[in-house]
């Protein structure tokens, strides 16, 4: 019997899937998308600084490569977090009440892709702004007052929280 299961497993391999949760738990928050967007910007800033060095050292080149990896990971976090909000939290009534919401999510995803393909400070900053606009809508759907506050991050700028 064990051999049969092994053969079936080889013919029909299982896929590992990830989800926020399948309960649904009701716990959603745009904070991770905002923080990840700031991380993409910070990695882009560091990469931009290293790119201006005429003869970068091995340490500089190593740091650049590590920044690329972190930027990739956090760009994916932006997409994953916004995808969770789009697919699990936001409902048709939210999209009707905020007609630009779907477009904002699409723009954020496109910016995430663009920022990972290039060392692009402007697109990174725009991605943060779009993530904040989505966060503001998110809090409004919960009847909470969104507020922009200093992020406290080395990137400067703001994040959206609620009162």
Please state, in angstroms and rounded to a whole number, the distance separating the CA atoms of residues 101 and 134: 7
| Whole-number percent of the chain with pLDDT over 90 | 83
Please state, in angstroms and rounded to a whole number, the distance separating the CA atoms of residues 128 and 148: 12
Where are the extended beta strands (E) located within the chain?
Answer: 146-150, 158-162
For residue 24, say if its preceding peptide bond is cis, omega within 30 degrees of 0: yes
What pLDDT was estimated at residue 16?
54
How is residue 24 written in tokens? 């649904």
Q: What is the pLDDT of residues 118-128, one digit of tens each?
A: 999 999 999 99
Please state, in angstroms and rounded to a whole number, the distance separating the CA atoms of residues 147 and 6: 55
What pLDDT was estimated at residue 11?
73
Would you place residue 17 in the very low, low, confident or very high pLDDT band (cuts 50, 70, 90)? very low
Position 139 pLDDT exceeds 80: yes
Contact 109, 75 (CB under 8 A): no
Q: Which domains does the chain have, with CATH numbers?
A: 2-162 (1.20.120.400)
β-pair partners for 160? 148
Please state, in angstroms and rounded to a whole number, the distance separating the CA atoms of residues 26 and 156: 31
Mean pLDDT of the chain: 92
Q: Which of 28, 124, 126 is nearest to 80 (CA)?
A: 28
Please state, in angstroms and rounded to a whole number, the distance separating the CA atoms of residues 160 and 119: 25
Position 100 pLDDT exceeds 80: yes
């Amino acid at each position: 019997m064990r051999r049969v299961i092994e053969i079936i497993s080889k013919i029909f391999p299982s896929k590992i899937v990830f989800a926020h949760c399948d309960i649904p738990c009701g716990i959603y928050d745009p904070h991770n998308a905002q923080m990840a967007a700031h991380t993409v910007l910070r990695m882009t800033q560091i990469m931009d600084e290293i790119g201006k060095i005429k003869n970068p050292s091995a340490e500089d080149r190593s740091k650049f490569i590590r920044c690329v990896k972190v930027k990739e990971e956090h760009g994916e976090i932006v997409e994953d977090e916004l995808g969770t909000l789009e697919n699990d939290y936001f409902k048709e009534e939210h999209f009707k009440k905020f007609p630009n919401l779907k477009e904002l999510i699409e723009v954020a995803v496109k910016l995430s892709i663009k920022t990972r393909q290039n060392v692009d400070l402007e697109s990174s900053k725009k991605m943060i702004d779009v993530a904040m606009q989505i966060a503001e809508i998110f809090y409004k759907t919960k009847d909470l007052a969104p507020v922009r506050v200093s992020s406290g991050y080395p990137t400067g700028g703001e994040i959206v929280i609620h009162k």
